[in-house]
Amino acid sequence: MKRIGVLVVAYLAITLLISQFIIHPLHLLETLRLKSEDGLLIAREALGLAPRAPEEIVIVAIDDLSIHKIGRWPWDRRIMADLFDKLRPAKLVAVDIVFAEPQSPEADARLAEAIASHGRVIAGFFGRNDSNITLSADALDELAISEYRGYTATGESLGVASMRSLNVNVPPILSSPLASAPFNAEPDSDGLYRNYPIGYLYQGLFFLNLALQSWRYATGYEINMTITPEKIVEVSEGNRTFTPVNGRFLALNYYHPASIKTVSAVDILEGKNIDAIRNKVVFLGVTEIGIYDMRPTPINSVTPGVWLHYTAYGNMIEGSFLRHLPYATPLGSLLLGTLVLALFGRARFRERAAGYMALLLGWIGGAVWLFCSYATVLPLFYPLLTLILAVIANESVHLFFSEARIKELRKAFASYVSPEILDLITANPDTLKLGGEKKEITILFSDIRNFTTLSESMPPEQLLALLNDFLDPMTEEILKEHGMLDKYIGDAIMALYNVPLDQLDHAAAAARSALALMRVLHTQNEKLGTTLDIGVGIHTGEAVIGNVGSKTRFDYTAIGDAVNLASRLEGLTKSYHAHIIISDATARQLGDGFVLRPLDRVRVKGKNDAVVIHELLPDTPENRHLAKAFAQALEYYFAGKFQEALKAFEALEPDGPSSLFAERCRHLLAKPPAIWDGIWTMTTK
């Protein structure tokens, strides 16, 4: 009963919290909600189910090619007049451009004449709230012919956004089109454009936005609306009905970008691609990125603004605006919370986890299916947030009442596993099993050279003391870089990076550790009067991480080819007279600040594929020069120019790797290979 009481209190708190978030959303949570719905667009495109744009509409774009050929924007209005003349085969032209500043009486008159002669142009204007400049009475009279009146008002006022000022076309262009419309667009709170404004009020006149106004004039059908003093309740045409988002917008159902029909404006001016616009509704706009008419959308961070009008028109044709289910957010949250509560009685965590996963995947799968099949948005964020909080409540109560069992586990296993692994086991008892996970890690092997020879002439207790004098500070350096000491193998060290916790710079951390080991070596040699040396091999790759061993005794470690290769690289340090050898996979993940000498392409024993290896050097001017000169010599060597390579390597002696390659070049000159691929095969470990 105590468990149930605590759980009931937790669920009541979750219900109140989610209710407050839904009614009064925080900016961060609203952003996450929007991003979660964007995931539906991404999933639909990944499944190859993104809708294709209808054939009836085309964008004529003032694009990069047009700007390159005609010149910088804005163009001379006589050129724009020629463009409108060439667009006469179009059924209708919607203009996502405003000519708000006069050019010259002649140029303005020429453009006005071209628009009027076309006879089927919907001109654009821009509404704004950052200015108090009002239109003249004559300009307002010209715009009044474009007023929309096909609505039913339920009160004395209209719940439609108002604009303080308009940027409209200059006379005589203002009076030349068939009608005019605003081409405003408004982003969501996170700056992305997902919705299309239905229209705006100015001086008591209601104007539909460009796509909707164009649809009315192109089809001859009227759009009907019901408007309360607070919002637009409903938008309909015939038997099709759309519920506005936030009482002001229609939710855009974006098309696959590759399906959007676009013709370059310069092609139209040159008389090309005219058939592409014949009897089509044309949206004329600027897509050249330098003109800044770009809008970030869920499908592209740089989307031309004219695409929004194009998409809205296409959605109007097909009746395919996205649908948001009313009350789906609170009902979905309540449903998932109740189903998670029903799983509380399952004693085994595996069963509960399977249930949680089924609910999670089921809700996400249902949302994807509804979206792909019916363009319907099933809310994700708040229902899934409820699910997560409910799962936390379930597991917190289970955990709270399981402390006794955790203590028993610690007592049972503390004697034969490390404290770190014991913490992992007690945090989640299900980790107490053989096997693990596959993960990219970096493996470091270090071996003290000449130690075996030294051990033959030294008493055991003195030998162990000397070994500890080297291994203790070396281990500290590894731990400083958040490496995990996997094991000591005699005088060798195996360390892992990016385990058990994620480590973004694991390759660089291993490289820094290797350089630190060299510094420790020199310090200890000077301090103890010894002449020991070390070799270090580092490789980055996928390995299986987890508990390896028997059911009665196991260790947390890594296994796989990546571990074996790191060990082989450490063995190569002797052959190449190098201290630190790293694989190309590790080298590619290192940033600036590391000096790498390309060393060879080598086929190590036990592997068929060649491995590109590098030597990691301390960052000094001498080593930077050495690495550059050696790289040039190596290019000759790989190209089969052994004489040039020999000369270059000899110039770098007595450097160890240079001496090795000089000897190789002499051998290859004496016995030239029939086929040379630059790969050296090692016959020993």
In DSSP terms, 681 is beta-bridged to 603
Residues of the chain whose pLDDT is less than 50? 1, 404, 409, 412-418, 430-434
State how far the alpha carbon of 94 is from the alpha carbons of 91, 115, 170, 262, in Å: 10, 11, 17, 14
- As separate numbers, helices (DSSP H) first and strands (DSSP E) second, the chain gives 22, 28
Q: What is the DSSP string of 144-166?
A: HTT----EEESSSS----B-SEE
Residues 6+ apart with CB under 8 A from 12: none
Instruction: Please state, in angstroms and rounded to a whole number, the distance separating the CA atoms of residues 28 and 15.
Output: 19
Residues 6+ apart with CB under 8 A from 529: none
Cβ burial 262-280 (10 Å sphere, 16+ → b, else e)? bbbbbbbbeeeeeebbeeb
Q: How many CA atoms lie within 13 A of 258 on its CB side?
A: 4
Contact 549, 487 (CB under 8 A): no
Contact 367, 325 (CB under 8 A): no
Sign of the torsion angle spanned by Cα atoms 638, 641, 646, 651: negative
Instruction: Please state, in angstroms and rounded to a whole number, the distance separating the CA atoms of residues 379 and 366.
Output: 10
Instruction: Please state, in angstroms and rounded to a whole number, the distance separating the CA atoms of residues 38 and 301.
Output: 12
For residue 429, the model assigns a pLDDT of 54
Instruction: Please state, in angstroms and rounded to a whole number, the distance separating the CA atoms of residues 468 and 50.
Output: 64
661: closest CA among 634, 625, 631? 634
In this structure, what token pair is assigned to residue 307? 């695409």
CA–CA–CA angle 520, 524, 525 (5° rounding): 115
Instruction: Please state, in angstroms and rounded to a whole number, the distance separating the CA atoms of residues 624 and 596.
Output: 8
CB count within 10 Å of CB 671 equals 7
In DSSP terms, 617 is beta-bridged to 595
CA–CA–CA angle 39, 41, 46 (5° rounding): 90
In this structure, what token pair is assigned to residue 408? 């028993």
Place of tokens 């240079």: 658
Q: Please state, rounded to an integer, the average pLDDT across all residues of the chain.
A: 88
For residue 116, the model assigns a pLDDT of 96
Contact 600, 638 (CB under 8 A): no
Cis omega before residue 618 (within 30°)?
A: no
- Strand 580-583 to 554-559 pairing: unpaired
602: closest CA among 578, 580, 584, 626? 584
Q: Which residue type does 219 have?
A: T
| 610 phi-psi bin (left φ>0, alpha ψ -120 to 50, beta other) | beta
Contact 382, 332 (CB under 8 A): yes
Place of tokens 């740089």: 302
State how far the alpha carbon of 149 is from the alpha carbons of 216, 223, 227, 635, in Å: 12, 9, 11, 77
For residue 121, the model assigns a pLDDT of 97
Cis omega before residue 25 (within 30°)?
A: no
- Exposed/middle/buried for 681, CB within 10 Å: 0-12, 13-18, 19+? exposed
Residues 6+ apart with CB under 8 A from 348: none
pLDDT digits (tens, 9 = 90+) for 106-121: 999 999 999 999 999 9
In this structure, what token pair is assigned to residue 239? 């038997």
Residues 6+ apart with CB under 8 A from 134: 165, 203
Instruction: Please state, in angstroms and rounded to a whole number, the distance separating the CA atoms of residues 190 and 193.
Output: 9
Using CA atoms of 612, 617, 621, 625 in order, give the dihedral in degrees to the nearest 10.
-30
Q: What is the DSSP string of 424-469?
A: HHHH-GGG-SSEEEEEEEEEEEEEEETHHHHHTTS-HHHHHHHHHH
Q: How many CA atoms lie within 13 A of 486 on its CB side?
A: 25
State how far the alpha carbon of 450 is from the alpha carbons of 445, 469, 470, 492, in Å: 16, 16, 13, 12
578: closest CA among 610, 616, 609, 607? 616
Q: What is the DSSP string of 628-662?
A: HHHHHHHHHHHTT-HHHHHHHHHTTTT-HHHHHHH
In DSSP terms, 538 is beta-bridged to 444, 582
